[in-house]
Amino acid sequence: MLCDKVTEALNRFQTACDLRMANANAANEPKVPLFHYTKEAALFSILDSGQFWFTSIHHMDDPEELNFGFNVVRELFNEAVERSTGLTRAFCRKLGEESELEKIKELIAFYSVSFGLRDLAQQWTDYADKGRGVAFGLAPEFFRPVPFDDPEHPRPDEIIFNGKVAYGHVNGRTRHTKVVDAALALIEQTQRRKRVNAEIRPRVEISNPAASLMGYDRPLNKIF
In tens, the pLDDT along 67-93 reads 888 889 999 999 999 988 888 888 889
pLDDT for 54? 86
Q: pLDDT value at position 219?
A: 37
More confident position, 77 or 11: 77
Total H helices, total E strands in the chain? 8, 4
- Alpha helix (H) residue ranges in 96-155: 100-107, 121-127
Q: Please tell me which residue, 4 or 116, carries the higher pLDDT value.
A: 116
List for the chain the helix, strand, coil content (%; round to 5).
65, 5, 30
224 pLDDT band (50/70/90 cuts)?
Answer: very low
DSSP 116: B
164-216 pLDDT, tens digit per residue, is 877 888 988 988 898 899 888 888 887 776 665 555 454 444 333 333 333 33
Quickly list DSSP for 174-217. HHHHHHHHHHHHHHHHHHHHHHHHHHHHHHHHHH-GGGGGGT--
Instruction: State residue 48's pLDDT score.
Output: 93
Instruction: Determine if the pTM surpasses 0.75.
Output: no
Give the list of residues 6+ apart from residue 71 with CB closer than 8 angstroms, or none: none
**Phi, psi (rounded to 5 degrees) for 111:** -130, 145
Which H/E stretch holds residue 135? strand 134-138
Say how far residue 122 (Cα) sits from the centre of its chain. 29
Q: Cβ distance 35 to 136 under 8 Å?
A: yes
Q: Quote the Cα angle for 165-171-175, to 5°.
A: 85
Mean residue pLDDT across the chain: 79
